[in-house]
């Protein structure tokens, strides 16, 4: 199967040293499995990472894949998704054990349900193309490197105009100080909550929590069913934000994503919101 014939959404790069099957089109199944294997051999990638509907999993298992995480009711609030991985290097399978211990301690404590409203000095809203320059300033101060081109004006502008990624921000005295985004699959009614960035001098004020809560309500109004995130294992603060916001932990993607200069393990969290009574249209 040649690349030009693939209908699935697939990325691969040396920075993360992996292939990522982001969306499996059923017309590519099962040939996509051999295609990714050939691609990994061609570029010597050490991990193949695939997000696939559970109904397609058996042949991935046959090809040597394992389950690293799962999200129920991912597709239109009904079908489940599995995060599968195949490692081409034994060293790639070793997680950051110290970070896992700290994360385990977090899960051993009850989540905090205390809500914290934004102070009157701050405002929160959906961002537009007019905010792109300010967004890049924030991203560059927070991330040394990133797996997607969030430092490029064209990328941000196009993603906003296509309405597939919604960006939100917190302003203080006319200056953007915090950003987050929701990467939306409008057809399947799910969204990835991501790109959380708060300027260093404004941390500790639970801005990520406020952004997440604001995004959840906006997505509920648009009839989204399932929200999820892929959060850095070593970022206890972000994991705590999702834990305290009612998300469920469903697995760790070992040495999965290049971010801030290193390949890191990532935690998967999810929340099904279509039956959650805390939201109102």
Is 280 within the bounds of a domain? no
Tell whether 228 and 187 lie within a shared domain: yes
pTM: 0.92
How many other C-beta atoms can be found within 10 angstroms of the C-beta atom of residue 124? 17
Is 45 within the bounds of a domain? yes
In a structure prediction context, what are the per-residue pLDDT tens digits for the chain, which is 281 residues long? 445 589 999 999 999 999 999 999 999 999 999 999 999 999 999 999 999 999 999 999 999 999 999 999 999 999 999 999 999 999 999 999 999 999 999 999 999 877 778 889 999 999 999 999 999 999 999 998 888 899 999 999 999 999 889 999 999 999 999 999 999 999 999 999 999 999 999 998 999 999 999 999 999 999 999 999 999 999 999 999 999 999 999 999 999 999 878 999 999 999 999 755 455 44
> Please, what's the b/e burial string for 203-222 (b: 16 or more CB within 10 A of its CB; e: otherwise)?
eebbbbbbbbbbbbeebbee
Q: Which of 93, 118, 151 is the last residue of a domain?
A: 93
Tell whether 148 and 16 lie within a shared domain: no
Strands 262-272 and 18-23: unpaired
What pLDDT is recorded for position 276?
52
> What is the CATH classification number for the domain harbouring 60?
3.40.630.30
Tell whether 61 and 103 lie within a shared domain: no
Tell whether 145 and 214 lie within a shared domain: yes
Task: For residue 44, count CB atoms less than 10 angstroms from its CB and return exposed for 0-12, middle for 13-18, buried for 19 or more.
Answer: exposed
Strands 175-185 and 165-172: antiparallel
Q: Which of 93, 126, 154 is the last residue of a domain?
A: 93
Question: How is 5-67 classified by DSSP, letter by letter?
Answer: G--SEEEEETTTTEEEEEE--GGGTTHHHHHHHHHHHHHT-SEEEEEEEGGGHHHHHHTT-EE
What pLDDT is recorded for position 275?
58
CA 269 to chain centre: 9
Tell whether 190 and 118 lie within a shared domain: yes
What pLDDT is recorded for position 125?
97
Tell whether 127 and 156 lie within a shared domain: yes
Residues in a beta bridge with 172: 122, 175
Tell whether 84 and 115 lie within a shared domain: no
Provide the domain count of the chain. 2
Tell whether 151 and 173 lie within a shared domain: yes
What pLDDT is recorded for position 145?
84
Tell whether 139 and 247 lie within a shared domain: yes
Tell whether 88 and 106 lie within a shared domain: no
Distance CA 150, CA 141 (A): 12
Q: Which of 49, 70, 93 is the last residue of a domain?
A: 93
Angle at 132 (CA atoms; ends 234, 16), nearest 5 degrees: 35
Tell whether 217 and 231 lie within a shared domain: yes
Tell whether 68 and 177 lie within a shared domain: no
What pLDDT is recorded for position 4?
57
What pLDDT is recorded for position 2?
43
Identify the domain containing residue 268 by its residue range. Answer: 97-272
């Amino acid at each position: 199967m040649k690349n030009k014939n693939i209908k699935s959404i697939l990325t691969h790069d040396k920075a993360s040293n992996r292939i990522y099957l982001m969306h499996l089109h059923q017309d590519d199944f099962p040939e996509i499995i051999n295609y990714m294997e050939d691609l990994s051999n061609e570029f010597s990638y050490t991990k193949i990472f695939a997000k696939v509907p559970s109904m397609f999993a058996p042949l991935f298992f046959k090809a040597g894949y394992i389950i690293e995480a799962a999200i129920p009711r991912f597709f239109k609030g009904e079908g489940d998704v599995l995060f599968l991985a195949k490692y081409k290097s034994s060293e790639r399978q070793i997680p950051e054990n110290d970070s896992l211990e700290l994360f385990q301690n977090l899960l051993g404590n009850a989540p905090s349900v205390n809500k914290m409203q934004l102070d009157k000095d701050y405002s929160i809203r959906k961002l537009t193309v007019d905010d792109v320059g300010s967004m890049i300033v924030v991203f560059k101060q927070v991330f040394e490197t990133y797996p997607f081109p969030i430092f490029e004006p064209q990328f941000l502008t196009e993603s906003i105009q296509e309405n597939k990624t919604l960006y939100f921000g917190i302003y203080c005295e006319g200056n953007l100080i915090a950003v987050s985004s929701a990467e939306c699959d409008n057809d399947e009614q799910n969204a990835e909550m991501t790109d959380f960035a708060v300027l260093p001098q404004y941390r500790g004020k639970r801005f990520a929590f406020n952004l997440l809560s604001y995004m959840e309500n906006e997505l509920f109004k648009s009839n989204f069913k399932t929200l999820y995130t892929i959060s850095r294992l070593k970022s206890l603060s972000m994991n705590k934000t999702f834990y305290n916001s009612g998300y469920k932990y469903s697995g760790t993607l070992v040495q999965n994503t290049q971010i801030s200069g290193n390949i890191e393990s990532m935690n998967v969290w999810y929340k099904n919101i279509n039956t959650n009574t805390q939201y109102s249209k």
